[in-house]
Amino acid sequence: MAVAEDQLPWHLRGNWAPVQDEITDNKLEVEGVIPPQLEGVYIRTGPNPKSGYSSHWFTGDGMVHGVRLSQGNAEWYRNRFVQTLNVTGRESDEAVDIGDLSRGSANTHVVAHSGKILCLEEGHWPWEIDGELNTVGFQNFSGNLKTSMTAHPKICPATGELLAFSYFSFEQPFLTYLRVSPDGAVLQSEGIEIPNMVMMHDFNVTRNFVIFMDLPLVLDLSLLETGVPFGFDPSAGARLGVMPRNGTNADIRWFEIDPCYVFHPVNAFDNDGKIVIHVSRQPEAFGSSSDDYAEVGRLWRWTIDLSLGTVTEEQIDDRPGDFGRVADKVIGLNAQFGYLMAMAGEGNSEEPVYGSALWKYDLRTGVCLEHHLGKNVRGGEPVFAADPDSEGEDEGWVITIVHDERANTSKLIIVDAQDFEADPVAVVHIPRRVPYGAHGSWIPDDKLS
């Protein structure tokens, strides 16, 4: 007997609900003018259980949605399941497969590195797809990746290195730092000693350092059947670990901060003996359970003084916002502009309600510009696409997929980053409902081999 929608978990109803068919449309309706400088593909992934059911939002099969732009045209939209072993083979037995690094879901983020497109999820290896969204296979860097890998690696704009980590280990070292060359060779895999296995969703990099967030979302095996066996325990304490980018466990310095949780930082940089980090900080990780996302983050600044051994913690904004990004060219540098998605705030039952605005934040002055998406329209992660003919940090466009709750339709919007409060310069109507998802990237053609 069918289950009434209001009886389903929040991640299986409304626009969170999965779609089951894969389509391709080469005749897309476009309003406005697509900048001809945009030559590439926007790809976003998200949990989309092929069976129609998953016990937790984090565990659904990865489905990628892509829109290709070329010569001022929207050439196609398509959506595809990433053909992971969970999609093509037997259903995963979590008790048996928990150590099988090839059984990733590819449902959290998409990045391009060393000429390849990687679909990421933090408990397993990445999965590679091509520019047409076809699955290539799992990626373990020629067998040299011996651990899982975060869904939030950072690609250094100066060196081209991919900097990452793994936390999904049930024995010491609970944390491993990873450094991968521009051509995809593992240069470093360094065990980092921390007292507990914690869910470390993201981390921070600067030109000279990596900064780990050892926050008190701690392994709790009593929660294993929920799909996310971690519980928030402020008594475990909270620390920031600073290590030179080429350093070792012996080089790391730990700085205590107030207990909190951060899913996503915006950016970090170091200058004159200090490290400045902007994050979306929330007082706890979850609400009443690991499937309760009524708690939301707000923009904070952490300043680490390496000489004094102190951390200054400042709240920058009291409005909820998350999914922060900067232009790829200034990752780990003193970026002026961060782009965030407004969140709807508390008072919602469990689901993380995406807001109806995008923000362009001047991280130096605190000035925030808001791009309103419209009544009943909910946003997605703002992704910056640089103008290849320009050098300025904000010379380019912000791209995301949004959803009209009333019409139950989705569209890709392209916003001029230097005229952020204005209407989008182009809107690409997508011929299907695109479920709310996780993260994605604008991938210019010159990033692919």
The string of pLDDT tens digits covering residues 368-397 is 999 999 999 999 999 999 999 999 999 999
Task: Check residue 100 and give left, alpha or beta (phi > 0: left; psi -120 to 50: alpha).
Answer: beta
21-30, 51-60, 78-87, 132-141: segment of lowest average pLDDT:
51-60
Specify the pLDDT at position 98.
64
The string of pLDDT tens digits covering residues 249-272 is 999 999 999 999 999 999 999 999
Is pLDDT of 242 > 80?
yes
The dihedrals phi and psi of 438, each to the nearest 5 degrees, come to -110, -105
Is pLDDT of 228 > 70?
yes
The DSSP element (H or E) to which 109 belongs, if any, is: strand 109-113
In the chain, what is the greatest distance between 2 CA atoms, to the nearest angstrom? Answer: 65
Distance, CA of 112 to CA of 267 (rounded, Å)? 19
Q: What is the mean pLDDT of residues 418-440?
A: 98
Specify the pLDDT at position 95.
47
Q: How confident is the model at residue 227 (pLDDT cuts 50, 70, 90)?
A: confident
The string of pLDDT tens digits covering residues 314-332 is 999 999 999 999 999 999 9
Q: How confident is the model at residue 354 (pLDDT cuts 50, 70, 90)?
A: confident
Q: What is the mean pLDDT of residues 209-237?
A: 91
pTM: 0.95
Is pLDDT of 3 > 90?
no
Specify the pLDDT at position 287.
62
Closest CA to 411 of 431, 432, 430: 430
Task: Report the relative pairing of strands 40-47 and 261-271 from DSSP bridges.
Answer: unpaired
Q: Count helices and strands (H / E) in the chain.
A: 2, 32
**Cβ(379)–Cβ(392) below 8 Å:** no
Specify the pLDDT at position 409.
98
- Alpha-carbon separation of residue 73 from 39, 177, 183 (angstroms): 9, 41, 31
Is pLDDT of 289 > 50?
yes
Is pLDDT of 90 > 70?
no
Closest CA to 177 of 127, 214, 224: 214
**Cβ(431)–Cβ(28) below 8 Å:** yes
DSSP string, 358-391: EEEEETTT--EEEEE--TTEE----EEEE-TT--
Q: How confident is the model at residue 226 (pLDDT cuts 50, 70, 90)?
A: confident
Is pLDDT of 182 > 90?
yes
Q: What is the rounded average pLDDT for all residues in the chain?
A: 94
